[in-house]
């Protein structure tokens, strides 16, 4: 009886070992099959004042969830295996900074693009050290086409010139003049390789370009 029990336990252990080995193999195969893309992102703010009062800006915005995100400034960490790449839009950044905009973030990197919308997110922040505070996530995933999801939060100083008009537009009580206001920008786009896509907002904007890696 003891021999049969030991044989049963041994068989059970072997089954568990094989199961875990198969899971590890499937995970490795999934990573190997996931395509790699290079993505370049520019996030900028409009310096024009009219966007502040063109519409009502709620103060109860939903903040982006950054938990579990991988910073764009890491290198070769699973599951995304981020690797910094050379920027191809440097001229575009210079033009934006000269024409009434201010670039808050500009980076290019390669990463794995998994085949579902639960793909991990990349954490981005203001890397220019000027202008609005920026934090949020970028999610690149691949179904039939490549898709990019942005979920960004901005905290921006309210310009003194439009403080009163802004307070009136926001229905703030008399004497209530906050120094900063928060905004969010959430957008999803299907991306064609090699095309430069523009995501608009009255106060901010995003340029994004995606290329498959060979």
Sign of CA dihedral 147, 129, 50, 135: positive
Give me the pLDDT at residue 120, please: 95
Q: Are 148 and 191 in contact (CB under 8 A)?
A: yes
Which H helix or E strand runs over 161?
none
* Residue 169, CA distances (Å) to 61, 172, 177, 212 in order: 17, 8, 12, 45
Q: State the burial class of residue 142 (Cβ atoms within 10 Å of its Cβ: 0-12, 13-18, 19+).
A: buried
Q: Which residue has the tokens 């994004």?
A: 208
Write the pLDDT tens digit of every residue in 15-66. Answer: 545 444 443 333 443 445 789 999 999 999 999 999 999 999 998 899 999 9
The confidence band for 144, taking pLDDT boundaries of 50, 70 and 90, is confident
Give me the pLDDT at residue 211, please: 96
Give me the pLDDT at residue 131, please: 94
Strands (E), 93-179: 101-112, 122-125, 133-142, 146-157
Measured in degrees and rounded to the nearest 5, phi and psi for residue 17 equal: -60, -45
| Summary mean pLDDT of the chain | 87
pLDDT at 175 over 90: no
Looking at residues 155-176, what average pLDDT do you find? Answer: 91
pLDDT at 125 over 70: yes
Rounded percentage of the chain residues whose pLDDT exceeds 90: 76
Give me the pLDDT at residue 3, please: 59
Question: Which one is predicted more confidently, 47 or 214?
Answer: 47
DSSP character at residue 69: P
Q: What pTM was estimated for this model as a whole?
A: 0.84
Q: Look at the chain and count its residues.
A: 214
Write the pLDDT tens digit of every residue in 82-123. Answer: 999 999 999 999 999 999 999 999 999 999 999 887 899 999
Looking at residues 59-82, what average pLDDT do you find? Answer: 94
- Count of beta carbons in the 10 Å neighbourhood of residue 75: 11
- Count of beta carbons in the 10 Å neighbourhood of residue 97: 15
Question: Which one is predicted more confidently, 5 or 27?
Answer: 5
Q: Are 138 and 150 in contact (CB under 8 A)?
A: yes
The confidence band for 10, taking pLDDT boundaries of 50, 70 and 90, is low
């Amino acid at each position: 009886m003891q021999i049969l029990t030991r044989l049963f336990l041994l068989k059970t252990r072997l089954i568990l070992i094989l199961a875990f080995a198969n899971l590890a193999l499937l995970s490795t195969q999934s990573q190997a099959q996931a395509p790699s893309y290079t993505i370049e992102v520019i996030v900028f703010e409009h310096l024009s004042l009219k966007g502040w009062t063109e519409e009502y800006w709620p103060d109860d915005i939903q903040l982006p969830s950054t938990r579990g995100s991988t910073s764009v400034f890491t290198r070769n960490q699973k599951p995304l295996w981020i690797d910094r790449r050379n920027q191809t839009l440097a001229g575009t950044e210079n033009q934006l900074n000269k024409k009434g905009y201010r670039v808050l973030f500009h980076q290019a990197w390669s990463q794995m693009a998994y085949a579902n919308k639960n793909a991990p997110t990349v954490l981005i922040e203001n890397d220019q050290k000027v202008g609005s505070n920026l934090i949020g996530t970028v999610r690149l995933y691949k179904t039939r086409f490549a898709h990019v999801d942005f979920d960004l939060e901005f905290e921006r100083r309210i310009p003194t010139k439009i403080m009163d008009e802004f307070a009136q537009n926001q229905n703030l009580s008399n004497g209530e003049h906050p120094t900063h206001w928060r905004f969010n920008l959430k957008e999803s786009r299907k991306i064609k390789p090699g095309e430069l896509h523009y995501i608009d907002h009255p106060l901010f904007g995003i340029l994004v370009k995606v290329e498959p890696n060979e």
